[in-house]
Structure 1
């Protein structure tokens, strides 16, 4: 049976270049490859969730600037429905410029996030959670996300957060969360190491917590059980979007299996995608999981 998820957060346009290295001051580089795609943590997760055979909706601010057509076309190709919280906005959506280093797969990113495109709570459509099986929040639309989290909790719809980095306002959303999937860069106030992060999230009574660490094992805490999950060893070409793809895959698998199995399966997908350039080419090159 097809599952449906609502992804709440950032919608960007990503300009992605593959090069020998990021440029130095006053240096011009010629990229060896490039691609353009819709981006943002929740957006990339929604594409992955849809690719894995589900129904995806992305809730965020897009607007009507002419370059939004590049975003809408990309998301239409992956059957992701856009719910635009400010369809009349005339200014450009956030644009990210990303340079991926060929030899290591590491990326350098410069972007504008959603700070200048915060949605008004009055723009939230009614019945937004109708027929939704899961919600993912990436923290880029905090006011809207809090309302969604409160409504989802009442309806017993599981809530996942993509904790890529700490953002003010997360403290108001975390008490509603079922699955906190964080990166090694996620540090709540007064947290300086991973043990502090686990303690902080556990104090909020979040039942399932995980911290991803790139190619290192995933740490998790679930029902008082601590452990590690290894991720496959690969030679990366591009690590851009791996965390977003991990979250989208996790949302897919957590609706089918238990927490640790969902983490392991999501880790396998995210690792494989690092063998391909950009955030979409793995979908054309890999057999369906």
Structure 2
């Protein structure tokens, strides 16, 4: 059993399955709804734990009653939570997500980690038994501390590069693997794979939803197909991809880990909500 350390955004997600996104001044009734903890690092940690590992999640929670609701929800997923802002009294970020039933497309409104950045974090002691680290860029100061400590201990560092965030320039060169969303670009750089490789990162990939994953593994460049499945909900699929990648990368080479992660992410899209795939997954993953 491996241990993963995930650093980044923790939100409370209000998810609604609707037949269409309402227009201005329109009221609709949702077909289904969920209230769960979310965020890129959070969903990745849950996927990593669901695949039979231990997951430690660091983010900004604080003392607001809604933070206790998040903690209770994460406890049901066997996630160990490290609160980077224990004295914070403001509510945690809330995300409202509308998933269109016919297509699985999602519309998201969120505050992310705005105003909830942890400026100081005592991280190194939390890495003593860790096998892999993932950061999503939403807690950049803490992430910088983590990546430096992980690199000095030869712990693999995975970066979920969803969108460019200030401070990424200080942590990207420390990464072992970077998996970027299609929209991610380094400032002034059009070719993301080439730009990331130029930073000395050995393993880089870009995901494109249902289209093939593009990757560069040291001197090898290629593409990998993504399983095509009936889509119910794409919410969190990228996050689940990253968590599954962390699980598989500890066992198999980079391209194989990407392939297995894509299979898990595709499985998640077959169900409403970011966790239903877990109870419907095969016993051997």
In the alignment, structure 1 residue 167 sits paired with structure 2 residue 165: yes
Please list, as runs of the form range in 1=range in 2, the aligned pairs for 1:56-75 lying within 5 A after superposition.
56-75=55-74
Distance apart, 1:281 and its partner CA: 1.3
In structure 2, list runs of 5 or more residues that go unmatched. none
**Counterpart of 2:166 in 1: which secondary structure?**
coil
Distance apart, 1:237 and its partner CA: 0.5
Structure 1 equivalent of residue 15 of structure 2: 16
**Counterpart of 1:109 in 2: which secondary structure?**
strand
Give the TM-score taking structure 2 as reference length. 0.98
Distance apart, 1:226 and its partner CA: 0.5
Residues 254-281 of structure 1 deviation map (CA, whole Å, 9 limit, x = unaligned): 0011100100000000001101001111
Structure 2 equivalent of residue 285 of structure 1: 280
In structure 1, list runs of 5 or more residues that go unmatched. none
2:250 to 234, 249, 255: 255
Structure 1 equivalent of residue 181 of structure 2: 183
Partners of 2:277 and 2:151 lie apart in 1 by: 34
* Higher alpha-carbon deviation: 278-287 or 10-19: 278-287
Maintained 8 Å contact 2:37/2:73: yes
1:267 to 238, 255, 262: 262
Structure 2 equivalent of residue 51 of structure 1: 50
**Counterpart of 2:125 in 1: which secondary structure?**
coil
In the alignment, structure 1 residue 216 sits paired with structure 2 residue 214: no
In the alignment, structure 1 residue 148 sits paired with structure 2 residue 146: yes
In the alignment, structure 1 residue 228 sits paired with structure 2 residue 223: yes
Maintained 8 Å contact 2:123/2:146: no
Residues 162-209 of structure 1 deviation map (CA, whole Å, 9 limit, x = unaligned): 0111111111100100100111011110133xxx11121111000000
Partners of 1:137 and 1:221 lie apart in 2 by: 20
Distance apart, 1:126 and its partner CA: 4.9
Give the TM-score taking structure 1 as reference length. 0.96
* Number of corresponding residues: 284
Structure 1 equivalent of residue 240 of structure 2: 245
Structure 2 equivalent of residue 116 of structure 1: 115
Structure 2 equivalent of residue 99 of structure 1: 98
Which runs of at least 4 in structure 1 moved beyond 3 Å after TM superposition? none
Partners of 2:83 and 2:33 lie apart in 1 by: 28
